[in-house]
Amino acid sequence: MEALGLLLHGFHVLLTVKTLSLMVVGLVLGIFVGVLPGLGGPNGVAILLPLTFTMDPTSAIVMLSCIYWGALFGGAITSILFNIPGEAWSVATTFDGYPMAQQGRAAEALTAAFTSSFIGSLVAVLLITFLAPGIASFALQFGPPEFFAVYLLTFCSFVGLGREEKHKTIISMSLGLLLAGIGMDTVSAQLRMTFGWSELYRGINFLVAVIGLFGISEILLTMEERLALRGHAAKISLRVVWRVWKDLPRYWVTLLRSSAIGCWLGITPGGAIAASFMGYNLAKRFAKDKESFGKGRIEGVFAPETAAHASGTAALLPMLALGIPGSGTAAILLGGLMVWGLNPGPLLFVEHKDFVWGLIASMYLGNVVGLVIVLTTVPIFAAVLRVPFAAIAPMIVVSCAVGAYAIQNAMFDIWLMLAFGVVGYAFKKIDIPLAPFTLALVLGNRAEDAFRLSMIGAEGDMSVFWSNGLVGSITTLALVLLFWPLISLGWRKLLRLLAGSSA
């Protein structure tokens, strides 16, 4: 009941003309970003983040979160009409969505995608509403050893549970931790790795790095791959919407299962990509007519979209409650909060209730408004895809440069942004994931501070990380996840050995 009262307070904070206007603007910008292949949620939030610097934190985070919701919705448009995933997690949506468009059922496929996106996000927001306060209250018991153990758990879970190649994840994370150490050491007040450059005394600004890694690199990749797109036309009518919504009860098991998968993989760093494929594969596995998948089955749209959007939304839960992002976009939002002087974590729910519950309320309202907007504006955003990307790219590059410069009014940051753009481009060409790099860049200093304060308090005794049941269990779980690939490999070999000996 307390959560419901706080949520009502959040709606009271949210329901102002200014905030609602920013919500609509954010949704439209997000859909536009989601429609453009390759940009998507993380890149859109990174590129447009500087627009919010002059706003109060509540208005800013509402606008950014709505950019994110809009991008989640918009990615389905390119996947279904053009067979080009607007987001990496939209790949599974193309399996049945594009065949439906080829059969003249594009409006039905889009309605299914938008509706399942809404359902998946709604389930995740309900989870955030009722679990975040409890997690935050529990985390108030944490000291430096506990916080370091949680950071270690986050880093290790990316290695153990992520779908990317493990050595590439470790390389990406290690580089992020290295760059996070540049500048002033917050414990000893010594300068590190500045090489005599006064511009590096402040360290590498997270936002500059993110704009380059996500924004500039995607421009380079997209310009390399395509200049114009052609696809199927679509116009959604009320009759089509009603027909799809009327059939929803038939797929309640698929929707519920995909929502659960998405929420779990959002809270853990499994990610929306893994969630979408897992949702699709399980829907196909448990279907009576498996052969119909891939030929235009609407359940093949429901399953991946529900799972992906539940995962993308649920990733905000650990970010708000513990200060640990569950996805690349959540990491960017975490950096934005720190720019505005807010420290995500348990104290956020105590010291900034208006902000937290205004944000959670915006998730509900933004999800509803976003669904209405995408259902009514599909032809407009589909038409954007027919504009040569060469005409759009310069505007995006200029907005990136203006945003990077505006952070600290430094020309050096523009050059740094371009350098990170090249790094991001190279990472994507050789399949090194950016999410661990981003995570390490955001949390590196905080993890180091927690570790060093723990060592100072324990006089260098590493057993402090097993000094009580809470910190010991978190640290042990982190190590298990770090070595999970080896543990699971050894377990499979043992089972095969036992099976061979019994035969």
| CB neighbour list of residue 384: distance below 8 Å, 6 or more residues apart | 32, 35, 36
Stretch 197-211: mean pLDDT: 75
Look at residue 231 and tell me if it is in a domain: yes
Q: 271-296, pLDDT tens digit by residue?
A: 676 677 778 878 887 887 777 787 78
Stretch 305-313: mean pLDDT: 85
| CB neighbour list of residue 92: distance below 8 Å, 6 or more residues apart | 276, 277, 279, 280, 300, 303, 304, 308
Stretch 45-62: mean pLDDT: 75
Amino acid making up residue 263: C
* Residue 406, pLDDT score: 64
The b-or-e profile of 197-233 (16+ CB within 10 A means b, else e) is: eeebeebbbbbbbbbbbbbbbbbbbbeeeeeebebbe
* Residue 384, pLDDT score: 56
Q: How confident is the model at residue 227 (pLDDT cuts 50, 70, 90)?
A: very low
Look at residue 191 and tell me if it is in a domain: no
58-72, 79-93, 484-498: the lowest-pLDDT one: 79-93
77-86, 93-102, 464-473: the lowest-pLDDT one: 77-86
d(CA 81, CA 64): 26
For residues 499 and 123, the model is more confident at: 123
d(CA 399, CA 39): 14
Look at residue 494 and tell me if it is in a domain: no
- Is pLDDT at 502 greater than 70 in this prediction? no
Question: How many angstroms separate the first and last alpha carbons of the chain?
Answer: 58
What is the CA angle 73-79-83, rounded to 5? 170
Q: 359-379, pLDDT tens digit by residue?
A: 888 888 888 888 888 888 766
Q: How confident is the model at residue 256 (pLDDT cuts 50, 70, 90)?
A: very high
Contact status, residue 325 vs residue 331, Cβ threshold 8 Å: yes
Share above pLDDT 70 across residues of the chain, in percent, rounded to a whole number: 82
Look at residue 65 and tell me if it is in a domain: yes
Number of domains the chain is built from: 1
Output the DSSP codes for 383-440: HHTTS-HHHHHHHHHHHHHHHHHHHHT-HHHHHHHHHHHHHHHHHHHTT--HHHHHHH
Share above pLDDT 90 across residues of the chain, in percent, rounded to a whole number: 1
- Is pLDDT at 233 greater than 70 in this prediction? no
Alpha helices in 315-352 (DSSP H): 316-322, 328-339, 348-351
Look at residue 389 and tell me if it is in a domain: yes
- Is pLDDT at 228 greater than 50 in this prediction? no
d(CA 330, CA 315): 6
d(CA 400, CA 394): 10
Q: 386-404, pLDDT tens digit by residue?
A: 566 667 677 767 767 776 7
* Residue 172, pLDDT score: 86
Which tokens is 430 given? 């050789």
Look at residue 36 and tell me if it is in a domain: yes
Look at residue 9 and tell me if it is in a domain: yes
**17-22 — which CB contacts under 8 Å span 24+ positions?**
18/59, 19/58, 19/59, 19/62, 19/358, 19/362, 20/365, 22/55, 22/59, 22/62, 22/63, 22/66
| CB neighbour list of residue 131: distance below 8 Å, 6 or more residues apart | 317, 321
Q: How confident is the model at residue 229 (pLDDT cuts 50, 70, 90)?
A: very low
For residues 248 and 32, the model is more confident at: 248
Which range of residues forms the domain containing residue 32? 2-174+204-461
* Residue 185, pLDDT score: 74
Look at residue 285 and tell me if it is in a domain: yes
- 3-class secondary-structure state, position 232: coil
- Is pLDDT at 59 greater than 60 in this prediction? yes
Average pLDDT, the chain: 77
Alpha helices in 91-143 (DSSP H): 91-102, 106-139
